[in-house]
Structure 1
Amino acid sequence: MKDQQQHKVTFASLIVTLGIVYGDIGTSPLYVFTAIAGHDVLTQELIYGGISLIFWTLTLQATFKYIFITLNADNNGEGGIFALYSLVRRRAPKWTIYVAMIGCAALIADGMITPAISLTSSLEVAQKALPSLPIVPGVIAILIAIFMFQQFGTDTIGKFFGPLMLIWFTMLIVLGVGAIMGHPEIFFALNPYYAVKLFQHHHNAWWVVGAVFLCVTGAEALYSDLGHVGKRNIQISWIFVKIALMLNYLGQGAWMMEHVGQKLYANPFAGIMPHWFVPFGSAISTIAAIIASQALITGSFSLIHEALRIKTWFRIVVYHPSKHRSQMYIPFVNWLLFAGCVFVVLFFKKSAAMEAAYGIAITIAMLSTTLLLYFYLTSRKAMPQWAIYLLIALFLAIEGVFFSANIQKIGHGAEFALILGGVFFLVMFTVYNAKLITKQKRNVIMLSKVLPTIRAVSQDEGIPLFSSHLVFLTSTRKKDLIEEAIPQSIYQGQPKRADVYWLLHFSEEDEPYTNYYKFTELEAGLIYRLDFHLGYKIHPDVSEFFPRAVNELAAQGKIQLKNHYPALQEHNVGPDFRFVLLDTAFLISPVMPIREQLLLKGYLLLKKIGVSAESHFVLEPGTWVKEQVIVND
């Protein structure tokens, strides 16, 4: 397994884990207590109840659900909502694809809100030392720098994230312990009694519960980043992270206990800083917020890349700016996230206003993970069925409470996150279903029926040679079937004579890094087929995979790479290869069902936004031709 082979637990690996995994959940002390107590007069019930809820939320959701349970659901070492879906899709009902889509859409929406709230909160802390600091322009300036940097990759700067986050968590501990010394009784707040008491008696309990959920919004990253650092590194480093978080929350609670009876007049995180330390603490907070933003951006890249692989997103350009294929840059997603983050900052202006929009998206993502986790545990028979029911019921109950609390924020900003997530879900829903419709309408025939005609075209020297080797991309999995459009392209209109015809098929596999091919000689010396089996993390790069496979087959003697022209053969010039891309277009008629019309029209619009097939499959200029095939309903 990749996790076992590549992710050994060392001190260095644990430091790297701090930088990659914990940016989001690690910066939550910047704003959680402001969200909990920002609207109320401070009371012991509110402070103790808030701390108790934070502790048990981190324990049940982050520690129990993700660290102990979900991290075990790895797909060859990879984690995340689509990795989990890939593990269950062959055994689970077909509708689970929509559960994965909902979770993905919610996480991308969170990717627009998290950088905005983290950076705004950090600059608000810095404003204590620099009262004239302009928050909104400062946040936008940092966002511009962060998003412009993405095109260069995170390989180099990523090496600095771990040590910086170690400084951040150490600062959380030191500040928290310093404040706790003024009110050590705050440790009693860990008792669940205070959480129950607040929930039962506080006049604004639902709002407080919704605010408490902000402490665990980065928990999905514990699973999504599994492939980067490995399960054991996450599980061990979490011990340190949780201690640091709780000590800081306890310290903030101790500081607030000194102001019982007053309204919260300052960010408690800034309040526990000694005055002389504020400039240093503000700088470290801003760096931590930048790291948290970076983690959400790269996480969004991974999500969209995986959505592309399971055909729930339209084609867009994906770059790998560093030597690691797992690190990627997707320009469309990058600038879409940037526009969303800037809009959030300009619209809400203050972190307190953003808090209502923050949380509901991750609640939905967690519910999606829980549903898929049920099918995973059931299919693997990891425990008795009654235990699975009990476990899933526990998670659904907790997340249901948080969802109910966050839904109360509709009208106060939560609707913004729902609209964002809804738009992303609509895109995935449209692409996925439109591709199903086009697949159903695409005509396929038996290869044996058209084989004589293809052979005749290849042997007719009266037809000008189109290419020595002519390659068609096919979507059919069965080797005895072929899209009707392919033979029509060969012998209708202007015939395409070639010595050899190739059928090239890419098949997506559930495991992320699968990479192998199968060769089939469909007609001796005339028609070959290559089936590439690629994991969902591997991009179908034709310019890389196809020549390598052809050269290997030639070296094994399975094919002959001979130029058509004797004069060129004498000079050892290899044959030419040409690719034919068939762009299937469907005539959308009024007699089609309205649903199909809307889906196909939406998909055609999205295709215009996306990239062409030649860019997606990385075909070199001059090696391909494109033809449009019109299909009537």
Structure 2
Amino acid sequence: MSSSDAATSTTHVLEEEVVTINQDENTPKTLAANKLLRRYDSLDIESAKLARRYHHAAAASTENGGWVVLLQLAFQSIGVVYGDLGTSPLYVFPGVFSNGIKDEDDILGVLSLILYTLTLLPLLKYVFIVLRANDNGDGGTFALYSLICRYAKVGLIPSEEMEDQNVSTFQLELPDNRTQRASKLKSKLENSNFTKYFLLFATMLGTSMLIGDGVLTPCISVLSSMSGLKLATQAMTEDRIVWASVGILIFLFTIQRFGTDKVGYTFAPILSVWFFLISGIGLYNIIKHDPLVIKAINPKYIVDYFRRNQKEAWISLGGVVLSTTGTEALFADVGHFSVRAIQISTCSVVYPSIMLAYTGQASYLRKHISDVDNAFYASVPGRMYWPMFVVAVMASIIASQSLISGTFSIIQQSLSLGCFPRVKVVHTSTKYPGQVYIPEINYLLMLACIFVTLGFRNTTKIGNAYGIAVVFVMALTSAFLVLIMILIWKTHVLLIIAYVFTIFAVELVYLSSVLYKFDQGGYLPLAFAMFLMTIMFVWNDVYRRKYHFELQHKISSEKVKEIVDETNSQRLPGLAIFYSELVHGIPPIFKHYVANVPVLHSILVFVSFKSLPISKVPIEERFLFRRVQPKELQVFRCVVRYGYTDARNEEEPFEKMLVERLKEFIREGYCINEEEESNEIGGNEDELNEQVERDVEYLDKAWRCGVVHLMGEQEVVAAKGANVVKRLLIDYGYNFLKRNLRQTNNVFDIPHKRMLKVGMTYQL
């Protein structure tokens, strides 16, 4: 179906004029050159402009950089992505052998488990498979959900438009009849409300568990690194180590407000030194203590380990899986770099270093079984102890930084889905758009980390909690990945089966092990996830109810004309921008405003912000306009589209951008139905151009007279006769969150001096 056919088949209440804005540099000033403009009843302006040019420019910039840029990104990624994964040797062996080592060969069995787990999950699954499922360069649970939403209509808010698929970063290629399996799955997803809710629920769960990682990572990393003081001096008691760790955590969260713009270049040298040291010490221990430890590469030792220990071996898997901590952050942070850069840094630096580190510790423990409780520091040669301690503390802080930054990005993504209450998102870097800081979340994370550190006091219990969070997110990622394999990649069924019965099956085994320690600290991430999911569910549920209410009560074009005609004699000079969340039509609050303030500005623009299920929308393709008929009303609709990592507060003032784009729309809009216009003015091109310039000047004059930002402030209450659950959800849960968090004007930096709030109560 062509775009024109598709647009014609779509029914909207408003009769509007829509044109395609051509922003090519060679655009002629006269309107006669625009021969292909047609009348549509849909928002398909600007949607295809500059798409090819945008992609060619992006590709060219990558090609021009070549290997130099790629290696720079690979180096920077060491400082951002691998802190958690790289510091896991601090606590894995103590977590596995929490009750001591019973048999010397058990060390070989556990080492073999660690080596194969690191190869199967971080390397094979994430670096070579999952990274391919990025969303225009961005990763994480939300990116996977966004991909699925693009290829199947599983979103619960009815704000989809055909024009969204023409955004250059949308890259939509729907499954066709050539792949029957993909088509059937797409149909089932779109026709099942249960599946839609389940996918949203799973996304919320994965997001909440990953935020739980952001709480537990700083605790376990800092405590593990500080535990080295026990071997150095007896004066360092457990209490002192705990309070010293709390001090480091407070410092860590305090500096978050400065942003992470230079985090790569600042931290990469430190972590490079860390990887160099742990690999060097590992190699030293292998040569000095037991070179034959490398025979653990034989998986036979895994079988023997399970035969000897049976249930205890299965329980110990919860400690083994800690070797993969930070792997999900590797996927979540891919947007700051590139897939190829992360693959290079993983294969050349990170993977070999941690393999040597674990092998070296195992070699040391073969000769010093009693040192397992502090295996990392005990295996460090005497002269290297203090340098290693300093680097370990710095590396643990960096490890914490990566998950904290990832948490900020995840919250930002959840906001665009309407799954999280409004919070202030501060973009800390103009160079890296994905680097954000959220003040409220930062201090909540700090308090949570302090309470966890003071409450658990050691890495064993925190490790139990950490394992559940890590494996849960991994398993959820695999479930989404299988959907993507079928629906989008159209992978051969044998490869899908192989993935499910190897990687996914291994993750489920690990998940069963970590759940065994639920009562030993494992309950913490689940409790934390349930708390976050409750907030997300309450906000998202009422958000959807509000949208459906506005959709059902939107104002028709006839009513708009009637309202404007009634106040036509009282039109004030100036431009009024009326904000709303409704994408289709004009919201009911407009009628409420006119009923109480029966005066309208000379030009009225209804603006709705819309989040697309993609990471970025180019600024050139962000604004979609349409004019409410007749033209003399001077009433316009505007949908401003954002991706979930786009900055909402650009350096250029929003109203200036809007007015400039509206001028372009007006200039080219008069070519709609060119024959009709030509007949009305006698076919005089000069008169047509003069009319256009008069309209542009009218807009300029209104802008100079002043801009008023009209903000809809909807109060929501449960309708009469609503059940108890609904009343609790709306009257207490949602309204409590709304009262205690930021309002829309604070989120979008709307100027207070020129803002007018319009209140209305919705009975849902």
CA contact (8 A) 2:371 2:378 kept: no
For 1:471, the equivalent position in structure 2 comes to 577
Equivalent in the alignment of 2:107: 47
Residue identity opposite 1:632 in structure 2 = Q
Distance (whole Å) between structure 2 residues aligned to residue 129 and residue 5 of structure 1: 52
Which residue does 2:586 correspond to in 1?
Answer: 482
Deviating runs (4+, > 6 A) in structure 1? 1-4
* Match in the other structure for 1:180: 286
Identify which range, 110-119 or 607-616, moves more after superposition. Answer: 607-616
Once residues 593 and 4 of structure 1 are traced to their aligned partners in structure 2, the CA distance between those partners, rounded to angstroms, is 59
Q: Which amino acid aligns with 2:127?
A: I
Q: Is the 8 A contact 1:511 1:536 kept in 2?
A: yes
Show the 5 A alignment for 1:455-604: 455-461=564-570, 465=572, 468-478=574-584, 481-490=585-594, 492-515=595-618, 516-523=622-629, 524-525=631-632, 526-541=634-649, 544-554=653-663, 558=667, 560=695, 574-589=704-719, 591-600=721-730, 601-604=732-735
Alpha-carbon distance between aligned partners in 2 of 1:578 and 1:457, rounded to the nearest angstrom: 21
Gaps of 5+ in 1: none
Aligned residues: 620
What residue in structure 1 maps to residue 35 of structure 2?
A: none
Q: Deviations over 1:2-46 (max 9, x none)?
A: 699558544432221111110111100000001111312342232
* Distance in 1 of aligned mates of 2:522 and 2:77: 31
State yes or no: 1:299 paired with 2:406.
Answer: yes
Q: 2:262 aligns with which of 124, 143, 156?
A: 156
Displacement of 1:52 after TM fit?
Answer: 0.8
Contact 2:580 2:712 survives alignment (8 Å): no
Summarize the Cα distance change of 1:329–1:445 in structure 2 as closer, same or farther, 3 Å threshold: closer
Counting only pairs closer than 5 Å after superposition, residues 209-228 of structure 1 correspond to structure 2 as: 209-228=317-336
Q: Does the 8 Å contact 2:557/2:628 carry over to 1?
A: no
Q: Structure 1: how far apart are the matches of 2:758 and 2:547?
A: 18
Partner of 1:410: 518
1:72-123 residue CA offsets vs partner (Å, 9 max, x unmatched)? 1111111111111100024254121211111110000111111011000001
Asked whether the equivalents of residues 73 and 338 of structure 2 are also in contact (C-alpha less than 8 Å), the reply is no
Query: Given the alignment of the two structures, is residue 241 of structure 1 paired with residue 347 of structure 2, yes or no?
Result: no
Alignment of 1:51-62 (within 5 A): 51-62=111-122
The amino acid across from 1:487 in the alignment is K
Q: Secondary structure at the match of 1:445?
A: coil
Structure 1 equivalent of residue 446 of structure 2: 338
Give the letter aligned to residue 297 of structure 1: I
Distance 1:581 1:532 in 2: 16
2:106 paired with 1:106: no
Aligned-partner residue type, residue 78 of structure 1: D
| AA of the residue aligned to 1:179 | N
Distance 2:385 2:397 in 1: 18
The alignment's TM-score, normalised by the length of structure 2, stands at 0.78
Partner in structure 1 of residue 86 of structure 2? 26
Who is 1:195 aligned against? 302
Is 2:491 the partner of 1:431? no
The 5 A counterparts of 1:358-437 are: 358-437=466-545
Give the whole-Å Cα distance in 1 for the aligned partners of 2:102 and 2:76: 39
CA distance in 1, matches of 2:459, 2:316: 16
The alpha-carbon deviation at position 458 of structure 1 amounts to: 4.1
Q: C-alpha distance in 1, partners of 2:127/2:569?
A: 66
- C-alpha distance after superposition, 1:562-599 (max 9, x if no partner): 579xxx96xx9813111211122223246213443233
Alignment partners' CA distance in 2, 1:392 and 1:431: 34
Which stretch of the first structure deviates more once superposed, 129-138 or 601-610? 129-138
Cα distance in structure 1, aligned partners of 2:596 and 2:510: 63
8 Å Cα contact 1:206-1:408 kept in structure 2: no
Deviation at 1:199, TM superposition (A): 2.6
For 1:329-373, what per-residue CA distance to the aligned partner results, in whole angstroms no more than 9, with x for missing partners?
Answer: 101110011011111110111223322221101111111111111
382-391 or 603-612, which deviates more: 382-391
Tell me what 1:137 maps to.
243
Range 449-458 or range 297-306, more displaced: 449-458
* 1:447-458 mapped onto 2 (5 Å cutoff): 447-458=556-567
Question: Counterpart of 2:228 in 1: which secondary structure?
Answer: helix
Is the Cα–Cα contact under 8 Å of residues 204 and 536 in structure 2 kept in the other structure? yes
RMSD: 2.3
Secondary structure of the structure 1 residue equivalent to 2:423? coil
Question: Contact 1:42 / 1:259 at 8 angstroms: preserved in 2?
Answer: no
Asked whether 1:271 is paired with 2:378, we answer: yes
Structure 1 position 352 matched with structure 2 position 466 = no
For 1:185 and 1:336, locate their aligned partners in 2 and report how far apart those are by CA, in whole Å.
48
- Would the aligned equivalents of 1:114 and 1:296 in 2 still touch at CA under 8 Å? yes
- Which amino acid counterpart does residue 574 of structure 1 have in structure 2? R
Q: What TM-score, normalized to structure 1?
A: 0.93
Q: 1:46 to 1:598 in 2, by over 3 A?
A: farther
Contact kept? 2:85, 2:325, Cα under 8 Å: yes
In the alignment, what sits opposite 1:625? Answer: 756
Could you tell me which amino acid in structure 2 is paired with residue 225 of structure 1?
A: D
Preserved CA contact (<8 Å) 1:210 1:359: yes
Aligned to 1:312: 419
SS at match of 1:514: coil
Q: CA deviation at 1:411?
A: 1.3
After alignment, is 296-305 or 411-420 more displaced? 411-420
Paired with 1:356 and 1:175, the residues of 2 have a C-alpha distance of 28
Per-residue deviation, residues 167-202 of structure 1 (Å, max 9, x unmatched) = 000001111011101201100112111122223331
**SS of equivalent residue, structure 1 residue 344:** helix
The structure with the greater share of residues assigned to helix is 2
The answer as to whether partners of 1:42 and 1:264 remain within 8 angstroms in 2 is no
Letter in 2 for 1:366: M
Which deviates the most, 164-173 or 497-506?
497-506
1:236-273 deviations in Å (ceiling 9; x for gaps):
1111211110111011101110034xx44641111111
2:745 paired residue number: 614
Which structure 2 segments of 5+ residues have no match? Answer: 1-54, 153-188, 190-194, 668-691
Q: Does 1:147 align with 2:250?
A: no
Classify 1:563/1:624 alpha carbon distance in 2 versus 1 (closer, same or farther; 3 Å): farther
C-alpha offsets along residues 189-225 of structure 1, whole Å, 9 cap, x if unaligned? Answer: 1211112222333151122111100000211122111
Equivalence for 1:169: 275
| Equivalent pair of 2:625/2:636 in contact (CA under 8 Å) | yes
Letter in 1 for 2:718: I
